[in-house]
Amino acid sequence: MRKKSMLRMLALAAAAALLMTGCACGGETRAPEGAPEGAGALSGEIMVTGSTSAEPLVAALADLFMEEHAGVSIAVQGNGSSAGIRAAADGSAQLGMSSRELNEEEKARTTAHTLCMDGIAVIVNKENAVTNLTKEQISAIFKGEIVNWKELGGADEEILLISREAGSGTRDAFEESCGLTEKNEAGNTVSLTDESRALIADSTNAVSTTVSGKPGAIGYVSLGSYDGNLVTAVDVDGVACTQENILSGAYALARPFLLVAGSASEEISEAFLQFALSEEGQAVVREHKYIAVK
């Protein structure tokens, strides 16, 4: 009898030990297979703000990232490169988007990561017969020194400038590339674009739409946003605005897209940065017709 009781106690102890082992295994938290270490624990929300040119690409990256991290919310807002850099620097956003290089003051307050490279396409209306311009001619057009397309071999049509707003990274990069800036007496960089003859557009899409609807118009947009069915991109110094020509250095109007981190950077924004620069993120870059950096 005592022997049976002893056997029963041993069996109960073994069952209890087995149950405890099973509970420990069943309670372990595991990230999905193939996900980065700690991915399952990501939760919260971040703001990414800045360049309207970079906004569609970054929004696509954010959507894919959120699909893979159900607890994460990323808000992407386009309000201009300078505004995005300031937001990252002062902590009102976790990441900024810039479609131009940072100046020395901005570099001192933030850290920039190159997401991809992009070209700036100089666009005209589909009815325009002019298909090639030199950088010097582009500069003279936007300074208001050349005012009619007949001076460039085109129709007798007044040239209408379509420019981006102050603070736009695309405008800054375009003007710097085409010699459309100078230093004033205070040492500040000022634009030479003749705004008295220009319509100011607040986004890349607005530039394309306006140029497509006005026969005499000329503007500039991100290559990744260029729609050849809507407008025509002219060659610059005889070189077409293509990824191949940008990579080789043959096309002169090129710039980076940057993700800018400041004091408000945190675990989610760091993870999103790593994702954007990963092979998966760079595949999205290529899908959107930009030039991957990896």
pLDDT at 15: 40
Class of the 46-117+257-292 domain? alpha beta
Phi, psi of 220 (to 5 degrees): -150, 140
Rounded alpha-carbon distances, angstroms, from residue 243 to 51, 88, 127, 165, 268: 20, 29, 25, 26, 31
Rounded alpha-carbon distances, angstroms, from residue 107 to 17, 88, 89, 261, 269: 59, 11, 10, 10, 19
pLDDT at 13: 43
The architecture CATH gives domain 119-255: 3-Layer(aba) Sandwich (3.40)
Ranges of residues in the chain with a pLDDT under 70 are: 1-40
Q: What contacts 13, CB < 8 A, 6 or more positions away?
A: none
d(Cα 285, Cα 224) in Å, to the nearest integer? Answer: 9
Q: What contacts 205, CB < 8 A, 6 or more positions away?
A: 225
pLDDT at 214: 97
pLDDT at 184: 86
Instruction: Return the SS3 of 233.
Output: strand
C-alpha closest to that of 189 among 158, 211, 216, 166: 166
pLDDT at 36: 45
pLDDT tens by residue, 17-51: 433 333 333 333 233 333 444 445 789 999 999 99
pLDDT at 183: 86
pLDDT tens by residue, 68-108: 999 999 999 999 999 999 999 999 999 999 999 999 999 99
pLDDT at 294: 83
pLDDT at 185: 85
pLDDT at 93: 96
pLDDT at 187: 79
pLDDT at 40: 52
pLDDT at 30: 32
pLDDT at 144: 97
Domains 46-117+257-292 and 119-255 fall in the same CATH topology: yes
Domain ranges of the chain: 46-117+257-292, 119-255
d(Cα 250, Cα 142) in Å, to the nearest integer? Answer: 23
What 71-74 contacts at long range (C-beta under 8 Å, 24+ apart), as own/partner pairs, is 71/42, 71/43, 71/44, 72/42, 72/43, 72/44, 72/45, 72/46, 72/268, 73/44, 73/45, 73/46, 74/45, 74/46, 74/47, 74/48, 74/268, 74/272
pTM equals: 0.77
